[in-house]
């Protein structure tokens, strides 16, 4: 198994052991962690979860759990900043296909690293990004 990039919903669902996360996605995440390969979480996801907490769609505890796992060096999850190199890949993710900017930023992260993205998002899955769901 190789490293993966995981989107916001997948990260929250994995941490909450939610049945909404597909078994294929859950197994891929576990396999990467067990193989010692990092599961990359864009810092965009932290910003997105903060926004969803403010809107009342997620809990403050879910945000705290995400941040805590990203601070734990043994968790298998690794925060990756949205930087200039990733921003330069953003035009490769068409706005007409993936209109939501945080989704485009996370998809660009996967494209930049040449890794599969764990996502339920059908728009991203239709944007030529290697995905796991």
| Fold classified for 4-132 | Rossmann fold (3.40.50)
Q: Give the pLDDT score at 87.
A: 98
Q: What does the pLDDT look like over 72-81, one tens digit per residue?
A: 999 999 999 9
Q: Give the pLDDT score at 35.
A: 96
pLDDT at position 90 over 70: yes
Query: From the CA atom positions of the chain, what is the Rg in Å?
Result: 14
Distance CA 33, CA 63 (A): 21
Any idea where the domains of the chain sit in the sequence? 4-132
Tokens of 86: 């990733």
Q: HEC profile for 7-68?
A: CHHHHHHHHCCCCCCCHHHHHHHHHHHHCCCCEEEEHHHHHHHHHHHHCCCCCHHHHHHHHH
pLDDT, mean over the chain: 96
């Amino acid at each position: 198994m190789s490293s993966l990039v995981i989107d916001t919903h997948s990260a929250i669902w994995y941490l909450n052991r939610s049945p909404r996360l597909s078994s294929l996605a859950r197994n891929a995440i576990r396999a990467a962690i067990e193989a010692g390969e990092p599961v990359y979480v864009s810092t965009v996801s932290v910003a997105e979860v903060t926004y969803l907490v403010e809107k009342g769609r997620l809990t403050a505890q879910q945000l705290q759990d995400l941040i805590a796992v990203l601070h734990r060096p043994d968790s298998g999850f690794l925060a990756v900043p949205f930087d200039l190199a990733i921003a330069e890949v953003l035009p490769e993710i068409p706005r007409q296909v993936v209109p939501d900017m945080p989704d485009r930023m996370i998809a660009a992260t996967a494209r930049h690293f040449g890794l599969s993205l764990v996502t339920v998002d059908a728009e991203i899955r239709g944007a030529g990004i290697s995905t796991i769901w």
